Structure 1
């Protein structure tokens, strides 16, 4: 087998490097022989031109330093509250050396400044100046150099395998706590320290009462960045009229913080994505997190379409925080995003007896605005008030051209969809520490969510024959109005009783009221200008849906040794009514038990086990008992006799982290089983004389017993050996569910697994290379057939700082896609490269970016749903070469 020359280069270089290194390792303890975790071990070479090395002890007090052979080095060991030790070491051979630190009664201010990492309780502080070398551009470059910190491609941050859920700057939320906007835009040279706060709670006296695993990261700015404007500006021009401009401006002072982020481009760079949107969906304190699960408006059209053939993006975000007094903080942000895109998708859909080839071209103009105001009032250290207001508004226009081919019969349909959605959320939250044993929290929350959607279908083909009651015309014009208005009015009260340090009893009571209106109107515009309304044929909905949930629950939490256990039960009284052609009222009680256990062996090794019996109700559209058109080939009718879904949800999670062993491991296993579940049933128009119309679908909703069961697992492992980091990821998802097609009940199975293997170099004077291989295998099994898809993708990522001020980044993925059922194969390569230059102490920077370097035309993927298998080819932007100039303020 012919090997890649790069493999030999890496092997030779690693062997050469390893042979020039020696290891100093051991244990650091106190005078009572207790291990000291997170002690700092700093190695200072006698040759000042060489880099300082450091290590941090793990939970068992172990440390390890990899040093250049032959160097004379001063080893400094420091720990808060202990006298530091200095030890001279000549690195001739690997040596085990233990240290014992003596307690000190003096304040070690000088030592605190020197420490790269300090730990106080749940707070870990990184002194970033000990880790960076000046080549960093943004916050993400700084974070990547901190031990135990990872920054993913989507902008999310993890520390010791745990995700950061709140991002703060000098103690204040940055754009509502978004990590992506922070890591991608805050300049690296503004960062002084990074604090990581585990088990974070905005309300200090609630910490320890909640089971939230929130982790906050607080970016501490340098003193000289706290009283004036700083940031950067960038403008770039590329081939074929491609362009990009961006601005990141920040002002911080003790009482006022102002942040602005702006971006305009046509290179497909989408600043605001679905993941970002979810982090801006409003919020309440973690103690209420299980009580609110609003959809937050229909913004799906705005959030989709990442792969496009044309793109024009405009994004602006402004965040202002003002401390008006020692008791009152006011913060707000406004986000605007406009996306003009065009995408093209070719899809092959496999139904039970037919195959359909679709070509979709969509032009979309999507605008989104989010405004948020947050008032925080602290009358004293035992009471806290919040008043939050959030408004979201979207206006989306989509023009779609679709060509559907079935058995050599072609239908061409044009579709225009317009959506205007408004979402308003107002809540008032109160927390009171009444005494050492009793704490109270309550919230009143109101949500208004209105969606007005108009759809218009146009075709010269008889595509709707047999699907809707059309009148024969030379040109078919179909109109639909679909409006949904939802209101939620909720109140929740919680009492925390701390019987003692190890036993707590929590009581919750509340009421949630949902009011939902659902209206549809489907009609045809005839050649003479009159309207053929389908209402007389069972179309058109006008439904008022009301759901009231009165609930009370009690939870008992206790701690013994390494175990923390919480068990509880909630009783819900659901009362719902539907008013359409007739009035229907129903009422029922549901008892929902829950269980949570945490086993904390130490700060870096934990197991979490939880189980819940959960319930949910469908939205009003599934209760609407008259027809409405869903798409050019499907009609849906709800079922007013539906009841609640009921399902078991269980999960076990294990995490392990060790700096000494260079180990990061976390794994999870989740199991879900529906006891009662609502699923769509489908009836195909199999008797239609036109084969192209046999894919027409009539859907309705039905409640099934034991309709689905799923098992999901994942293992993520990272291991550092000398100057190489090895990564291994594996995941699987097995799901089986009932599906009723053409009045026949069948069991479908969906089996997927994926894995990724990678190796990353960590050499000081060598490019950071990550070389890996990943594969995804999907298998769909129905009563009629089995389909299998595989995507195999070797990849390489390069980050290289060289000469003085140059940075080179490169990523490459080769995807080998196979539809093994139809014996279809496709190979495509995606590569991007960036070369940037900034001279030390210069405000100017220059960047050359190559996007889609090999000019790939499309990406290939697949998906399954209840009754079809789709093989999809999505076309993408062509090769882009962009030169930009930046200026740092």
Structure 2
């Protein structure tokens, strides 16, 4: 039904555009008939109330404009180093018109031409005043109007299909460089230009040798926003006891930048997500990527679901950057997050021989503080120093109530978990361009990571019988487990980039990684009299110390010929490790890890990249512990002290194609991974109880995946089609019997979006995801269909209407379970251009849906899950722009 509706809507829009618009296309060349790529072609309507039409020529100098029939336009063509050309036309039908630009003869007088888009090397600059209407509120609203730029709901930004990894404001990282806080909070009226920096490296002289695949976006502020305070505040009250307050305050001057973001709400809105946390976890320069795994600490409590039955959040963040001199910049931020959440989940777990019905109620409190201080020192143009110190502290409290029903046997389990964690990172970097031939980079990175989780279980019936020495004569069944995890990591790397000539480079690397980890676990039963039934005699309780040293050296040769760039080489690793428990184990081995890179750059908008690596990975101390410890109310785990390193192939092919002339953006990639030696869990079942161990197996898994995305603009409608496919097969040891499991998932999303000037932006589409899990000749199949519609409409003077709706149809084929539910949200806001005040009405979960449903697979378990969500929330908010 939705597909038919989509077709009808697209057909109507197409007919409408055919009747009202015509196409002006052609080429722009110089006097020698050479095509001028990235020239600006602007059609300015005589009627100032109409929007201009804009295009950039492609690599062959072609352009295409959509104009209104019988309207008068001034066509302006401009290109750096050439005299601008202006012509007036009144098109009555589709027309082809070619233009010739002449080189500027007299360039002694300064001529300033404000191009809508200018391209210089890897830098693309958008002059935003040519694209905005004045009704935009935040940075994300501005970015959505720039050609080739897209912003997702989660705050990710892509340009020509490539993801922006670093966000800058006037050249300085904005809150660690993540995009979400920037696009959601920077006011639209403060933005002058948007720069996109491809192949970005924060050290300018490393750009040509770093092989960086990063992309940065730099927001240039208007001059009148650089020397005083600006921002906005908002407060809202909803039905029942729901509320929200939000503040964004920014102060910018040439030498001092201050940003503050604050939020209080109980609507489930997460100002700070786990993805944001990752961007705040520090990092090193891209030239060191792959030389060691940068660890950001185990703060996985921020992975909790957005689907909650109650939520309360307090969030505050302060970022300060100070230029103390021409050589030294000092920056830092502090961030505080406090959340209280509750969720309710119903799960149907399918094991190999039985089914479990389980309900969970969770109450969780997370408190997180992050602080970072960074010094950037550049004594001259050829040398750069960085010193970064980061500290994180978290306290996590979780209460969990589970009711498990198996074959009419009911058990209730109460779990209390507390966890305090510290994380400290100190990083020093040095980069030096010694000469035109040699550039040096070095880093020393130290990390301390510690957490101490404590867990209590209280059950109506004894649990894990046969796996733990449980005294079932007690009136209460109480278990306690204490853990201690401490990790020290020291990484040192030195690199020499030797530039033989523009087409041939040799890179050498020497480094060392030393780590020391300690894992302690203590499990016992709390008896009625307060004493403990310690499980040591039953093989429980661990004290494991893991020391590991990795000395490595590598050499790589990079050369460029025509449109091809090749880089190949290898690292030689010497692994030396020691596992100290009841006895001590010492091992040493050498491993060679080759890698390969090929880039084919047909032009700036069409590229292919091929990567291959042979990778190695060691586990941590908790997997080496050779005595039992509890994982949950129904599972115990024992590691293996004899584990060595994993070894696996990793390959990727990526293709990208972008054309403003054709209104086309296409990306596709294929990924392949095969483990030659890899870790797999082995499980033995005793009813619902699980005993798990870890094994290092030969050829334990193989997986590959394909994903693609194509967007095509035809007249005033943009069509999209994206697809994903993954296929994984892996060995599984269940009850001492090996089998090969297969997990196959595929999905697609097809849709269309209107792009009319005086018409709502309407996006309609259809998503389908299918999951197949095969084990022991039995197959489980899940499907989810999601027709959806999104509407954005700016109307009258200052009104903005937003609406999103998705209908979910979920099917579990094996259990013959089918559910349908709807999720919808809407917003109506108003702001007069001459007033600082704004008003907004929002409705969240408009149809008052009670739950969402999905599925997941693990090594030995298939789960069908209902997650309950917040009820309908209707809120009125008032905002004020400073």
Tell me the distance in 1 between the aligned counterparts of 2:4 and 2:544.
65
Question: Secondary structure of the residue that 1:705 maps to in structure 2?
Answer: strand
Contact 1:302 1:396 in 2 (8 A): no
Question: Secondary structure of the residue that 1:832 maps to in structure 2?
Answer: strand
Contact 1:165 1:216 in 2 (8 A): yes
Deviates more, 1:780-789 or 1:554-563: 780-789
**1:114 matched residue in structure 2:** 114
Tell me the distance in 1 between the aligned counterparts of 2:284 and 2:576.
26
2:505 is the alignment partner of 1:504: yes
**2:246 matched residue in structure 1:** 246
**2:730 matched residue in structure 1:** 737
**1:664 matched residue in structure 2:** 665
Kindly state the Cα deviation for residue 7 of structure 1 after the two structures are TM-superposed: 6.3
**2:277 matched residue in structure 1:** 277
**1:170 matched residue in structure 2:** 170
Question: Secondary structure of the residue that 2:453 maps to in structure 1?
Answer: strand
Q: Deviations along 1:520-561, whole A, 9 cap, x unmatched?
A: 000111111111110111100001100100000000000000
**1:428 matched residue in structure 2:** 428
Kindly state the Cα deviation for residue 13 of structure 1 after the two structures are TM-superposed: 4.5
Kindly state the Cα deviation for residue 727 of structure 1 after the two structures are TM-superposed: 0.3
Kindly state the Cα deviation for residue 335 of structure 1 after the two structures are TM-superposed: 1.1
**1:816 matched residue in structure 2:** 809
Q: Deviations along 1:594-634, whole A, 9 cap, x unmatched?
A: 00000000000000001000000011111100000110000
**2:83 matched residue in structure 1:** 83
Cα distance change on mapping 1:743 and 1:109 into 2, 3 Å: farther
Tell me the distance in 1 between the aligned counterparts of 2:241 and 2:113.
50
Tell me the distance in 1 between the aligned counterparts of 2:660 and 2:62.
9
After TM superposition, the structure 1 = structure 2 runs for residues 559-708 of structure 1, keeping only pairs within 5 Å, are 559-685=560-686, 694-708=687-701
2:785 is the alignment partner of 1:792: yes
After TM superposition, the structure 1 = structure 2 runs for residues 278-357 of structure 1, keeping only pairs within 5 Å, are 278-357=278-357
Kindly state the Cα deviation for residue 36 of structure 1 after the two structures are TM-superposed: 1.3
**1:836 matched residue in structure 2:** 829
Deviates more, 1:781-790 or 1:756-765: 781-790
Tell me the distance in 2 between the aligned counterparts of 1:110 and 1:758.
48
Tell me the distance in 2 between the aligned counterparts of 1:353 and 1:95.
71
Cα distance change on mapping 1:465 and 1:192 into 2, 3 Å: same
**2:400 matched residue in structure 1:** 400
Q: Deviations along 1:672-698, whole A, 9 cap, x unmatched?
A: 00000011100011xxxxxxxx11000
**1:690 matched residue in structure 2:** none
Kindly state the Cα deviation for residue 10 of structure 1 after the two structures are TM-superposed: 5.6
Tell me the distance in 1 between the aligned counterparts of 2:117 and 2:110.
14
Q: CA RMSD in A?
A: 1.3
Q: Deviations along 1:193-230, whole A, 9 cap, x unmatched?
A: 00111111111110110111111110000111011000
Tell me the distance in 1 between the aligned counterparts of 2:414 and 2:33.
77
Tell me the distance in 2 between the aligned counterparts of 1:364 and 1:201.
40
Q: Deviations along 1:805-839, whole A, 9 cap, x unmatched?
A: 00000000000000001111000100000000001
Contact 1:541 1:625 in 2 (8 A): yes
**1:530 matched residue in structure 2:** 531
Kindly state the Cα deviation for residue 591 of structure 1 after the two structures are TM-superposed: 0.4
| Aligned positions, number | 881
Q: TM-score, normalised by structure 1?
A: 0.98
Kindly state the Cα deviation for residue 111 of structure 1 after the two structures are TM-superposed: 6.5
**1:471 matched residue in structure 2:** 471
Kindly state the Cα deviation for residue 783 of structure 1 after the two structures are TM-superposed: 1.1
Kindly state the Cα deviation for residue 340 of structure 1 after the two structures are TM-superposed: 0.2
Contact 2:45 2:73 in 1 (8 A): yes
Kindly state the Cα deviation for residue 50 of structure 1 after the two structures are TM-superposed: 2.3
**1:519 matched residue in structure 2:** 520
**2:255 matched residue in structure 1:** 255
Gaps of 5+ in 1: 686-693
Tell me the distance in 2 between the aligned counterparts of 1:430 and 1:106.
45
Tell me the distance in 1 between the aligned counterparts of 2:113 and 2:683.
67
After TM superposition, the structure 1 = structure 2 runs for residues 543-554 of structure 1, keeping only pairs within 5 Å, are 543-554=544-555
Q: Deviations along 1:816-874, whole A, 9 cap, x unmatched?
A: 00000111100010000000000112100000000000000000000000001000000
Contact 1:856 1:878 in 2 (8 A): yes
2:839 is the alignment partner of 1:846: yes
Tell me the distance in 1 between the aligned counterparts of 2:201 and 2:296.
23
Deviates more, 1:576-585 or 1:100-109: 100-109
2:777 is the alignment partner of 1:776: no
2:366 is the alignment partner of 1:366: yes
Q: Deviations along 1:764-823, whole A, 9 cap, x unmatched?
A: 111000000000000000114110000000000000000110000000000000000111
Question: Secondary structure of the residue that 1:205 maps to in structure 2?
Answer: helix
Question: Secondary structure of the residue that 1:707 maps to in structure 2?
Answer: strand
Kindly state the Cα deviation for residue 39 of structure 1 after the two structures are TM-superposed: 0.8
Contact 1:255 1:322 in 2 (8 A): yes
Deviates more, 1:161-170 or 1:293-302: 293-302
**1:204 matched residue in structure 2:** 204
Cα distance change on mapping 1:772 and 1:112 into 2, 3 Å: farther
Tell me the distance in 2 between the aligned counterparts of 1:34 and 1:848.
55
Cα distance change on mapping 1:504 and 1:4 into 2, 3 Å: closer
**1:55 matched residue in structure 2:** 55
Tell me the distance in 1 between the aligned counterparts of 2:273 and 2:605.
32
Gaps of 5+ in 2: none
Cα distance change on mapping 1:7 and 1:590 into 2, 3 Å: closer
Cα distance change on mapping 1:652 and 1:353 into 2, 3 Å: same
2:800 is the alignment partner of 1:807: yes
Tell me the distance in 1 between the aligned counterparts of 2:670 and 2:496.
32
Tell me the distance in 2 between the aligned counterparts of 1:218 and 1:24.
33
Kindly state the Cα deviation for residue 109 of structure 1 after the two structures are TM-superposed: 8.9
Tell me the distance in 2 between the aligned counterparts of 1:512 and 1:836.
54
Kindly state the Cα deviation for residue 573 of structure 1 after the two structures are TM-superposed: 0.3
Tell me the distance in 1 between the aligned counterparts of 2:410 and 2:541.
29
**1:490 matched residue in structure 2:** 491
Contact 1:460 1:474 in 2 (8 A): no
Contact 1:571 1:592 in 2 (8 A): yes
**1:134 matched residue in structure 2:** 134
Kindly state the Cα deviation for residue 294 of structure 1 after the two structures are TM-superposed: 3.6
Cα distance change on mapping 1:820 and 1:378 into 2, 3 Å: same
Contact 1:80 1:108 in 2 (8 A): no
Q: Deviations along 1:505-524, whole A, 9 cap, x unmatched?
A: 00000100010000000011
Contact 1:671 1:710 in 2 (8 A): yes
Q: TM-score, normalised by structure 2?
A: 0.99
Tell me the distance in 1 between the aligned counterparts of 2:304 and 2:47.
55
**2:741 matched residue in structure 1:** 748
After TM superposition, the structure 1 = structure 2 runs for residues 859-870 of structure 1, keeping only pairs within 5 Å, are 859-870=852-863
Kindly state the Cα deviation for residue 368 of structure 1 after the two structures are TM-superposed: 1.0
Tell me the distance in 2 between the aligned counterparts of 1:49 and 1:216.
35
Kindly state the Cα deviation for residue 61 of structure 1 after the two structures are TM-superposed: 1.2
Deviates more, 1:571-580 or 1:1-10: 1-10
